[in-house]
Structure 1
Amino acid sequence: MSICDQEGLQKALTPVADALMQILASVTPITHIETIPLNKAYGRILASAAVSPMNVPPEDNSAMDGYAIGELGYREYTCVGEAFAGHPYQGTVKPDECIRIMTGAPVPSDCSLVEMQENATVVGNVVTFTETLKAGSNIRRAGEDIALGSHVLTAGRRLTPSDCGLLASIGLAQVEVKTPIKVALFTTGDELIAPGTALKAGQIYESNSYVLTPILQKLGAELIVLPAVEDNENSIKKALHDASEKADIVITCGGVSVGDADYTRKAVEALGQLELWKLAMKPGKPLAFGRIINCLFLGLPGNPVSALVTLHQVGLPLLRKLSGEQVTPNIRLSATTTEILRKRPGRADYQRGIASVNSPGQLEVRSTGLQGSGILTSVSQANCFIVLEQERGRVEIGETVMVEMFDEWLK
């Protein structure tokens, strides 16, 4: 490819970051919310900031097993009681007195410190200490973890297991979350048939929905999967119209390039508005985004690897923003290549790779082999994307590249 050809290709293609920025700028998050039990909240999107109605811990408590001491300045202390987590000491503690206390037990208000039991010598009910005592030591203060009225989680957060535990720790039994978005998904192509059916000449099994559906299910979307639609404009138009009445967004695979048999683009334009990009991305150059009546539309490429990569890199940020989630960039790490990676300048390349840590403790990466847009084994054998910049060419052994480890959406 000549320099002029490369420059012409780069001008004709939209960089992935630019396309994503334009798409996200046109998406308004859903506003509907619902209140659900906390034990059902994992993976849901928090609708508003979680504000603590209490201090955590709720009162001063002991950080270890030992003795809670009245005041400093005495050579020996009389032990007058004991305290356990859930069973506080009910009496008073004079300056020259102490109580036996266990980890997590409330510290009486008239005690100034806790000393660990290993530093204590006990004779009868008289306790002396072998180390210098320090006021305030070994006491976890009320509100030390979470203060009353503080924001513990922000709106738009997808709740993790630890988040759910955090909300439980401040006494919340219910939580307000965004309602799941409704996603309609179908593929187009006369050559596609369902798995389990005998193949005829020219047919292939429809696999895109099996690749994309698990990702959309992990997203928590209410999923409407439609049968594959034959390649004619009227059939696709009807499928799009029917799907748009049920969903917040319609996602299709195939038919969004400029070929004579690519009818999805024409059908969308007849029903609504469409912006069509040729992404500077490999795999996954054709991508369509627009609206059908009151519904968003995302058209993915027809090849399964292209559809997967495009959904992951562009579709997921779109869907997550639509869901009301805070969207953050994917994490990329530097790695050293252990083999030559073939590439031409002009498109960002998301090659499928296997990353590992070598004996010196450095991250290295190799390709899974053939990288064609229809080769699903390149993904199933991988644990990362090797992200090669748009202007980059062939990569030699030992060069540094960026990798994106497969995240929760691809595992």
Structure 2
Amino acid sequence: MTQPTLEQIASCIAGYDPNAMPVAQAQEFIARLVPRVQAVERLPIRSALGRVLAHDVVSPIDVPSHDNAAMDGYAMRGMDLADDGPTLLPVAGTSFAGQPVVSVVPPAFCARIMTGAVMPDGLDTVVPQEFTTLLPDGRISIPAGIVRTGDNRRLRGEDLARGEAALKAGRVLRPADLGLLASLGQAEVPVLRRLRVAFFSTGDELRSVGEPLDEGCVYDSNRYTLWGMLTRLGVELIDLGVVRDEPDALRAAFEQAAAAADAVITSGGVSVGEADHTKRIMAELGEVLFWRIAMRPGRPLAIGRIGDGAGGRGAILFGLPGNPVAVMVTFYAFVRDALLAMAGANAEPLPVMQAISAGALRKKPGRTEYQRGTLRPTADGRWQVEITGSQGSGILRSMSQANGLVVLHHGQGNVAAGDLVDVLPFDGLV
């Protein structure tokens, strides 16, 4: 299938302006751009945590396989319950989980039953043992109004019926899903292959951890935050290190990355006026657009396709800004969901909660701002968020101190103390 060109995608975006692009517009463009992984492999369920399910899993059995007791007690017929006083019933045997069921329980009798045991034929109600009294003559006494017909019984196929889809394709498998697969007797599960993502940092001033820090140089932090964010997504990582701002070195790095990966992520070298060769090499090796996003932090962004890619169709390129906070914000605003879509995962929007702003926030309409904040519960059970000091895009400590991003939307203006604001919590995100 022929992929649309970037120009064709841009023609589908209403009001497309690469020099002043709203966040939502950029997200729409990227969603139209990214391809999906197609290759499928089968894995033991213990190796499938975090992987993307390739096909629907259809239940081959009813779960549970029989009507059974939801708790320890006595199984009985609901029709035997007395309306005007206690119900007195003799006991005819005991049913244990995993053992043959008491086959015949005469009318007006009950059976002792344990949690998970199969309900004897004709019995439809379980009274918990703590609500009963064992009388000297061997009968049990059940007070009026304690149970109703059908209480405390789990029906055959109540969780899943034979032939029903237990899990849908595109689901990122979680611990409970592994248990569900095991309950169906599934030893293996079909999953999409892992997405391959190559990443590197650019800049002559960058040094890797462990190298001496020359005058005017800084340690590269971006590869480590990218490694952490990508690891959370469960992708296959290709770390190409720090690449000097030299045409031959950049070209070799981009070509190596594009040949090995489905997606390539760089940090640095995409801002207007930067004295480096990154943008030129990007443009030479593929079809790349350079955007100015109406957001803060993270205005410059490169997007496109380069090389042949792991699937032979061109690797998707995400050229992120170089400032550490801007790298993280643009990753969460644009790259995270794109990579999940490329991996075949069903889209699940990030959880957004509302919190009371502890202080006034200055904001001009016309751009989206992401401010680092700390969420805390208030005495009355609500949530309050306080900004973590200076919001400069190079102050990575502000992200480390925060536990969420305050999202001030494109059309939003100043925020007064006490106003509600949207917050993206970090829990489960970073």
TM over 0.5: yes
Which secondary structure state, in structure 2, belongs to the residue aligned with residue 403 of structure 1?
Answer: strand
Measured in 2, the distance between the counterparts of 1:134 and 1:346 equals 61
Which secondary structure state, in structure 2, belongs to the residue aligned with residue 142 of structure 1?
Answer: coil
Given that residues 336 and 364 in structure 1 are in contact (C-alpha distance below 8 angstroms), is that contact kept between their aligned partners in structure 2?
Answer: yes
Which secondary structure state, in structure 1, belongs to the residue aligned with residue 243 of structure 2?
Answer: coil
Shift of 1:137: 3.2
Give yes or no for the alignment of 1:370 onto 2:394: no
- The 5-angstrom pairing of residues 34-45 of structure 1 reads 34-45=41-52
Of 76-85 and 102-111, deviating more is 76-85
Distance 1:76 1:395, change over 3 A: closer
Give yes or no for the alignment of 1:230 onto 2:237: no
Which residue in the other structure is 2:144 paired with?
131
Distance 1:23 1:73, change over 3 A: closer
Measured in 2, the distance between the counterparts of 1:356 and 1:324 equals 35
Question: Which of the residues 393, 398, 409 maps onto 2:418?
Answer: 398
Which residue in the other structure is 1:99 paired with?
111
Of 115-124 and 20-29, deviating more is 115-124
Shift of 1:203: 0.8
Give yes or no for the alignment of 1:323 onto 2:343: yes
Which secondary structure state, in structure 1, belongs to the residue aligned with residue 421 of structure 2?
Answer: strand
Which residue in the other structure is 1:7 paired with?
none
Which secondary structure state, in structure 2, belongs to the residue aligned with residue 226 of structure 1?
Answer: strand
Which secondary structure state, in structure 2, belongs to the residue aligned with residue 319 of structure 1?
Answer: helix
Which residue in the other structure is 1:357 paired with?
377
Distance 1:232 1:393, change over 3 A: farther
Give yes or no for the alignment of 1:248 onto 2:255: no
Shift of 1:249: 1.0
Which letter does structure 1 place at the counterpart of 2:116? G
Of 175-184 and 88-97, deviating more is 88-97
Structure 1 residues 350-394: Cα deviation after superposition (integer angstroms, max 9, x where no partner): 000011121122221111001111100110000111111223344
Which letter does structure 2 place at the counterpart of 1:295? A
Measured in 1, the distance between the counterparts of 2:298 and 2:23 equals 10
Q: TM-score, normalised by structure 2?
A: 0.88
Distance 1:287 1:77, change over 3 A: same
- The 5-angstrom pairing of residues 25-64 of structure 1 reads 25-64=32-71
Measured in 1, the distance between the counterparts of 2:79 and 2:349 equals 54
Give yes or no for the alignment of 1:189 onto 2:209: no
Given that residues 79 and 97 in structure 1 are in contact (C-alpha distance below 8 angstroms), is that contact kept between their aligned partners in structure 2?
Answer: yes
Give yes or no for the alignment of 1:81 onto 2:96: no
User: Unaligned regions of 5+ residues in structure 1, if any?
Assistant: 1-9
User: Unaligned regions of 5+ residues in structure 2, if any?
Assistant: 1-16, 82-86, 308-313
Question: Which of the residues 145, 155, 159 maps onto 2:169?
Answer: 155
Measured in 2, the distance between the counterparts of 1:11 and 1:26 equals 15
Give RMSD over aligned pairs. 2.0
Of 300-309 and 73-82, deviating more is 73-82
Q: TM-score, normalised by structure 1?
A: 0.92
Shift of 1:104: 1.5
Which residue in the other structure is 2:135 paired with?
122
Given that residues 94 and 110 in structure 1 are in contact (C-alpha distance below 8 angstroms), is that contact kept between their aligned partners in structure 2?
Answer: no
Which letter does structure 2 place at the counterpart of 1:123? P
Measured in 2, the distance between the counterparts of 1:162 and 1:278 equals 42
Which residue in the other structure is 2:317 paired with?
297
Shift of 1:103: 1.6
Which residue in the other structure is 1:270 paired with?
284
Given that residues 200 and 267 in structure 2 are in contact (C-alpha distance below 8 angstroms), is that contact kept between their aligned partners in structure 1?
Answer: yes
Distance 1:378 1:219, change over 3 A: same
Given that residues 256 and 263 in structure 1 are in contact (C-alpha distance below 8 angstroms), is that contact kept between their aligned partners in structure 2?
Answer: no
Which residue in the other structure is 2:216 paired with?
202
Give yes or no for the alignment of 1:24 onto 2:31: yes
Given that residues 103 and 121 in structure 2 are in contact (C-alpha distance below 8 angstroms), is that contact kept between their aligned partners in structure 1?
Answer: no
- The 5-angstrom pairing of residues 301-312 of structure 1 reads 301-312=321-332
Structure 1 residues 91-115: Cα deviation after superposition (integer angstroms, max 9, x where no partner): 3222243321112111012324323
Shift of 1:90: 4.4
Which residue in the other structure is 1:15 paired with?
22
Give yes or no for the alignment of 1:169 onto 2:183: yes
Which secondary structure state, in structure 1, belongs to the residue aligned with residue 407 of structure 2?
Answer: strand
Distance 1:261 1:361, change over 3 A: same
Given that residues 254 and 262 in structure 1 are in contact (C-alpha distance below 8 angstroms), is that contact kept between their aligned partners in structure 2?
Answer: no
Which letter does structure 2 place at the counterpart of 1:121? L
Given that residues 251 and 299 in structure 1 are in contact (C-alpha distance below 8 angstroms), is that contact kept between their aligned partners in structure 2?
Answer: yes
Given that residues 80 and 125 in structure 1 are in contact (C-alpha distance below 8 angstroms), is that contact kept between their aligned partners in structure 2?
Answer: no
Which secondary structure state, in structure 1, belongs to the residue aligned with residue 385 of structure 2?
Answer: strand
Shift of 1:285: 0.6
Distance 1:399 1:79, change over 3 A: closer
Which secondary structure state, in structure 2, belongs to the residue aligned with residue 196 of structure 1?
Answer: coil
Shift of 1:11: 8.8
Shift of 1:267: 0.9
Measured in 1, the distance between the counterparts of 2:303 and 2:232 equals 22
Measured in 1, the distance between the counterparts of 2:164 and 2:232 equals 30
Shift of 1:60: 0.4
Structure 1 residues 300-357: Cα deviation after superposition (integer angstroms, max 9, x where no partner): 1111110111011100011000000112222222222112223334321100001112
Which secondary structure state, in structure 1, belongs to the residue aligned with residue 112 of structure 2?
Answer: strand
Of 243-252 and 192-201, deviating more is 192-201
Given that residues 121 and 129 in structure 1 are in contact (C-alpha distance below 8 angstroms), is that contact kept between their aligned partners in structure 2?
Answer: no
Q: Runs of at least 4 residues of structure 1 off by over 6 A?
A: none
